[in-house]
Each structure stands twice: as structure tokens, then as C-alpha cells.
């Protein structure tokens, strides 16, 4: 038995350096193209549905991104049915309505204002819950800031899984809250249309600021 245990430990020790080496390597050009260089914000999609399995995979990826105290304040509603889309439609600006109704999935990204209730499980190092219970404004800022981080993770996770994403403002957040978060403890931050994009007629990418315009080295 001891010999077998030592063998298993040896195998683990062999794998650890391999994982460290793997994690320190840059992604392939293909992966970088898919995530960044060739990826675009798309607003028209083909007819392929987005499966439950894919949405589970998307969440399983995005939840791994870092958030303050591992608080994970983001909450998501994946709107797919025609009935749910019709409920959402009145909250959308005129420019966003038709493309959202046509998208296979619309992700509502919200923040849970009482996210800190989960900290004893998510962040057991010490009791950070009291930090937020004593300062509602600090809790609100932390929830909103980190949920927007998680919205970014959602977009990258979607691209990693072969989906395209079209993030949108242009909606009545209070209206969306009343429809999909009636408990009053959540606040909608962003909508993201998801699906397999149609690039027909796609205009060239808009210019980006140069390193010199956007960055300081100090």
C-alpha cells in the first residue's frame, strides 16, 4: 500500500511542473485571434440554437475569473424563449429591440447587492462579511465593479466556446429589474446578445488607441 501511495505522489509531482510550464506559455495565435484579434461585437446571428450544455460551460468558465474576496456578485438570466423576449422588449431602446428579439440568447448581467452573504463559504480566510454589512455604499460599489468584471469574463468565455457576443447598453435597467429580479436585491448592469454570429456586411473594426496614447511606463 505504501508503495502505491508513493507511486501516486510521484505521478502528482511529475504533473505539477508540467502544469506550471504549460500555464506560463502564451496562447497560440489561433486562440488569440479567436478571443481578441478577429473577434468582434456582433449583433446578427444565424439560426443555430445555443444549447443548455453550452450555457453551462460558459458559466463554468466565467465564474473562475477573479473577483474581490472571491465574492462573485454577478448574477445572470439567459433569456431564450419567445415569451421571455417579449417581456424584455419594452425595456429595450428602439435600436436594440429587433436585434435582441432575433438573437438566440440574451444574457442579462446583474449584480447581487447582498453578495457578501455568501462570503463565509466563498472566502473562508476571515469574516469579510462585516466589512460590507457596515457600509452599504462600499457593498454597492464592490458589487457593481466586480459584476462588470464578470461581464467581461462572460464575453471572453463565449468567444472561447465559439460563440459571438454583442454587449449592449440602451435599456431601462429598473424595468429589467422589475421583470427579472423582483426581490429588489439585484441591479441590472448590461445585456449581452449571444449566438453564432453572422459576419455578412460587417464593417471594418474601429480604430484603437496606440500604446503611447493609452499607456504610461513609470
| Architecture label for domain 35-196 | 3-Layer(aba) Sandwich (3.40)
In this predicted structure, which of 30-34, 37-41, 111-115, 200-204 has the lowest mean pLDDT?
200-204
Q: What pLDDT is recorded for position 2?
A: 44
Q: What pLDDT is recorded for position 17?
A: 63
The residue with greater pLDDT, 24 or 41, is 41
End-to-end CA separation in angstroms for the chain: 57
Using a pLDDT cut of 70, give the percent of the chain over it: 90
Q: What pLDDT is recorded for position 23?
A: 75
Residue 178, pLDDT > 80, answer yes
Residue 73, pLDDT > 80, answer yes
Residue 98, pLDDT > 80, answer yes
**pLDDT mean across residues, the chain:** 93
DSSP letter, residue 161: T
Contacts of 15 (CB under 8 A, 6+ apart): none
- pLDDT tens for 126-164 read 999 999 999 999 999 999 999 999 999 999 999 999 999
Q: What pLDDT is recorded for position 20?
A: 75
The Cα–Cα gap between 123 and 132 comes to 13
E strand or H helix that includes residue 156: helix 136-160
pLDDT band at 10 (very low <50, low <70, confident <90, very high): very low
Amino acid at each position: 500500500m505504501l508503495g502505491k501511495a508513493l507511486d501516486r505522489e510521484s505521478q502528482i509531482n511529475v504533473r505539477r511542473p508540467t502544469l506550471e510550464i504549460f500555464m506560463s506559455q502564451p496562447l497560440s495565435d489561433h486562440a488569440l485571434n479567436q478571443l481578441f484579434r478577429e473577434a468582434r461585437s456582433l449583433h446578427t446571428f444565424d439560426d443555430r440554437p445555443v444549447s443548455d450544455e453550452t450555457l453551462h460551460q460558459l458559466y463554468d468558465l466565467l465564474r473562475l475569473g477573479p473577483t474581490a474576496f472571491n465574492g462573485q456578485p454577478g448574477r445572470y438570466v439567459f433569456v431564450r424563449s419567445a415569451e421571455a423576449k417579449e417581456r424584455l422588449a419594452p425595456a429595450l431602446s428602439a435600436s436594440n429591440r429587433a436585434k435582441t428579439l432575433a438573437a438566440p440568447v440574451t444574457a442579462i448581467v446583474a449584480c447581487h447587492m447582498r453578495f457578501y452573504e455568501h462570503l463565509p463559504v466563498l472566502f473562508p480566510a476571515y469574516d469579510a462579511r462585516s466589512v460590507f454589512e457596515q457600509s452599504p455604499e462600499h457593498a454597492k460599489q464592490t458589487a457593481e465593479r466586480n459584476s462588470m468584471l464578470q461581464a467581461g469574463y462572460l464575453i471572453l468565455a463565449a468567444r472561447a466556446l465559439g460563440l459571438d457576443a454583442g454587449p449592449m447598453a440602451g435599456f431601462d435597467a429598473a424595468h429589467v429589474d422589475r421583470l427579472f429580479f423582483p426581490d429588489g436585491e439585484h441591479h441590472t448592469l448590461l445585456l449581452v446578445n449571444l449566438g453564432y454570429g453572422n459576419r455578412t456586411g460587417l464593417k471594418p473594426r474601429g480604430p484603437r488607441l496606440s500604446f503611447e496614447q493609452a499607456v504610461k511606463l513609470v
